[in-house]
A and B are shown apart, each in its own frame.
Chain A
């Protein structure tokens, strides 16, 4: 009797169990991905907020016991931290602005116009990344000193723009290709100049992709450490500052520094997340 009921429930529940196992798979996948991102951030935060005792406590509980903002604030009060944080924001801001202002028009041209040497141009854009910065460091330093850009945030921003620009151009090309040409032509026919059509029709539809490109440029600048270290002495960006300072710092300071590196990117991406998803669905089909 018991076997009978068992087989009966088995057959009855098979489609249901298939669906539920799919759901289980989905949620465990989501959980794994979240953990992949969140657990390290959590651990870093724990180290940053736990103070000296929190870092060396053993056995580790993984629970937020004895945390306070005090160690972190103490770290913030350390000389140079806030300034380098602002420097980093400035350099990233310059990078985002310049790579969008220069990269998006280039991407638009690549997407919409056929011109001689288009493929070579595209290759050339990527080739700028073929020179290792280490080789360029010395000549760059020399010319930056001559130009008065050495040890300035603008100088760092310019170099980061050089790093981010090729990707900005190529990624925005793809984005503009995704906006059907017919939409633009319809705008022309119904009374727009080329510039008006771009701002009324193409730009709104390309916005999510452009914002994603901006995030990308921001992250490139924020994480870049080599050029920033070489080209600055006093006006360091956060990464460059932390690199030189943290190796001599107590453990919980390092965690605080790490947390400070992570948070702005997370906050920035969170702030623009709405634009990262295509709101209207670009396809005209």
Chain B
């Protein structure tokens, strides 16, 4: 079993706390992304797991074994680096074989494993070449093949696609998913690209300022962000946050009464995904002043304000709304997230 338990890991650089008591459990065979803006500590956490960085306190266990204090080579894991880090003085074959050679595997096993990994990543034609004759995408494949060839219990990936151009990134993403699904390796994947994280992961851990803000299935994180930061970071356009008055435990939205969680003050923040609305005639709907209407082909993007607060909503492309219009919107009450205006944390979903 290769589940990973990250237990109250802290890391300080002088007075700066890069990681503030991170705890996270990753199940055997699971693909978990660490997602967050740059500087949130996600790469530091990954490097602590890899043994390339020491933690200030806390423990990391793979299976039942604590790996803190072990040399990287004794941790039984493989890693794909952001800049690929393929060895320029070795052929592709020797690069992929490197980990096995260090394990003193016999030649037959090395050959079999290299060919298997090369086959998975379609790099057989380049096995005799040196990396400087390869493109970025091909080098990335070599780096992944090198990691898979040792059949690691745990695979760590540090923004492996960020140096590729957009088209290649999409292609590699799909391919990575195929390869890793068949390998069944426990994977931790660091990225700042939410579409990568959403597309690849079983679960996402959203990090911000050295704290894990939320861990969950991509859809759950998208629909019910635990904090205002998560809602604003995930999704394009980001979630709308509208501060609304509360009276008698309810919020008035056009003709509708929306129940809010108990024990809130006179104000609450309504978190609304841009596409969780539909057009409704006034005054049944909540009033939105449209400043700019942008037909995007697949949908219609409206930028404007509700209750004098900026919002972005998405309507079907067939709707005809023009810049400057005032429209009514019916909110999909199942997809509303209520957040505390003080702490920015969301309340558990309430049944209407």
Report A's interface with B, CB cutoff 8 A: 180, 182-183, 185-193, 196, 201, 204-205, 279-285
Contacts and interface: CB of A to CB of B under 8 A. Distances in A.
Nearest to A278: B88
A191 B81 CA distance: 15
A280 B89 contact: yes
Contacts of B82: 182
Given A185-B52, A280-B89, A284-B85, 4 more contacts: A183-B85, A186-B79, A190-B78, A205-B88
Contacts, number: 73
Pick the 4 closest A-B CB pairs, nearest first: A191-B102, A190-B99, A182-B85, A186-B85
Nearest to A196: B102
Contacts of A187: 87, 98
Nearest to A284: B83
Interface string B73-102: 100011101111111110000000011001
Contacts of A186: 79, 81, 85-87
Interface of B: 50-52, 71-73, 77-79, 81-89, 98-99, 102-103, 130, 132, 146, 150
B83 A189 contact: no
B73 A193 contact: yes
Contacts of B130: 280
Contacts of A190: 73, 78, 98-99, 102, 146, 150
30 contacts: A180-B85, A182-B81, A182-B85, A183-B87, A183-B88, A185-B85, A186-B81, A186-B85, A186-B86, A187-B87, A189-B50, A189-B72, A189-B73, A189-B77, A189-B79, A190-B73, A190-B78, A190-B98, A191-B98, A191-B99, A191-B103, A191-B150, A192-B73, A201-B87, A204-B89, A280-B89, A284-B84, A284-B85, A284-B86, A284-B88
A11 to B, nearest CB: 41
A202 B130 CA distance: 17
Contacts of B146: 190
A183 B82 CA distance: 11
Contacts of A281: 88, 132
Residue in B73, B78, B79, B86 with the greatest tally of chain A CB atoms within 10 Å: B73
Contacts of B73: 188-193
Residue in A180, A188, A193 with the greatest tally of chain B CB atoms within 10 Å: A188
